[in-house]
Amino acid sequence: MERQTLTNGEAVPKISNALAGITFAGSIGNPEVGKNHPADALSFVRRRKESGHIDWWAVEDGSNFRADFAMGESMGREYLDFIGRHPTYGHCLLLGHIVAGMAHTIDERGRLGASATGFLRVVNEHAMASATILSMPELSSTAAALSVGV
């Protein structure tokens, strides 16, 4: 992985998607416990007091589907804001932990709880927007030019 030096002299990794012609040159570091660890920063993630293990989806739905769905959407936006402000290597795996934690909300018919569904709707909406941008013809032609060395 290529490294880039910022104006303050700090060396950070430079992440590139050469096929799409996109480069992210942000600071990607290790999370500082207590500052930006998900268990300390996200409202829906909790540390278990007795064991110290992390409950990645510490959410219990109520009886109002719409309210729970809206709460999940709010938590989805919170998650996106968090990973945007703290793009660390560990946070690349965060969504998988959260989705695995959502398994306890599956009902007897195999459906996720309303808050989990709302959360995933917001995250998927942003994934679709990113995928749309990455599939734009301008980026495709740039990727083709890069692959043939033009």
Q: Is the pLDDT of residue 37 over 70?
A: yes
Q: Is the Cβ–Cβ distance between 113 and 57 less than 8 Å?
A: no
Mean pLDDT score, 139-149: 60
Per-residue pLDDT tens for 121-134? 999 999 999 888 88
The answer to whether the CB of 98 falls within 8 A of the CB of 79 is: yes
Q: Tell me the pLDDT tens digit for each residue of 68-89.
A: 999 999 999 999 999 888 887 7
Instruction: Give residue 107's pLDDT.
Output: 87
pTM greater than 0.95: no
Mean pLDDT computed over 6-31? 43
Amino acid letter, 109: R
- Mark out the alpha helices in 86-134 (DSSP H runs): 94-101, 114-134
Grade residue 11 by pLDDT with cuts at 50, 70 and 90.
Answer: very low
Domain residue ranges in the chain: 32-148
115 or 18: which carries more pLDDT confidence?
115
Q: Is pLDDT above 80 for 142?
A: no
| pLDDT of res. 74 | 96
pLDDT greater than 90 at residue 40: no
DSSP state of 54: E
Q: What's the chain's average pLDDT?
A: 77
